[in-house]
Amino acid sequence: MPSSTPKKRSKSEHNSSSPSSASKSSLSAIIEPPQSLFPSKGEFLRLIAVLAIASAVALSCDFFATSKTFCDTNVDPADSLSDSCEPCPSNGECYEGEVECIYGYRRHGKLCIEDRDINETANKLSEWVEAGLCEAYAQVICYGTGTVWVRENDMWNDLDEHKLMQIVVSDHTTYAYTKRRAMETIAKLLETRTNLHGLLEFKCPDALAYYCACLCSGNPF
């Protein structure tokens, strides 16, 4: 009659099953990260709140930095708070945080730069006046007829007749400013004197007039 005693497993069978169980345990430990690696729900919500506050503060700082107004022109920079306003730019007038560029200049970002159209018009007008006076002086040298000295008032009137003043300039203020800029440039190019009546007069420089006279006589040397 067979015995009912359970058969014992051999030592080799027991040893062969142990490595398999150990490897499964190690693999499970690698795949499943520890619970302490992830924050709890409460910690996660607190982290979101901190990030939201930090973002709001950063946006506020950026807004105030970019929306800084200009200090009033009539306020001493030493008396104004540099953190609350920026100095008024050159060639600009500031009031209640806003800047308005003076005539002849236009707004470019936070600066007032020279108006290119007005500047070019004034330069062309001054070159036209210089050429006219030098040609008149050359006529005197070559033929003995013409005008050497021209009164300032006559030059102002000549500028009014120039087509550039009629085409480029639109409003009266810009019109007057362009003429003044042209006259300032002319005063640097030509010789000046005050006549017996106290009026300012202009003349082409002698060297330039004689050069023009040589050209009109056909002898440039």
Residue 221 pLDDT > 50: no
Please indicate, yes or no, whether the overall pTM of this predicted structure exceeds 0.75: no
Question: Per-residue pLDDT tens for 102-147?
Answer: 878 888 888 888 888 888 888 999 999 999 999 999 999 988 888 8
Q: How far apart are CA 118 and CA 177, in angstroms?
A: 9
- Spans of all domains in the chain: 40-114, 116-216
Half-sphere exposure (CA, 13 Å, Cβ side) for 5? 3
Answer yes or no: are the C-beta atoms of 155 and 186 closer than 8 Å: yes
Nearest-10 crossing angle of helices 152-161, 116-143 = 120
Is the model's pLDDT at 202 over the cut of 90?
yes
The confidence band for 13, taking pLDDT boundaries of 50, 70 and 90, is very low
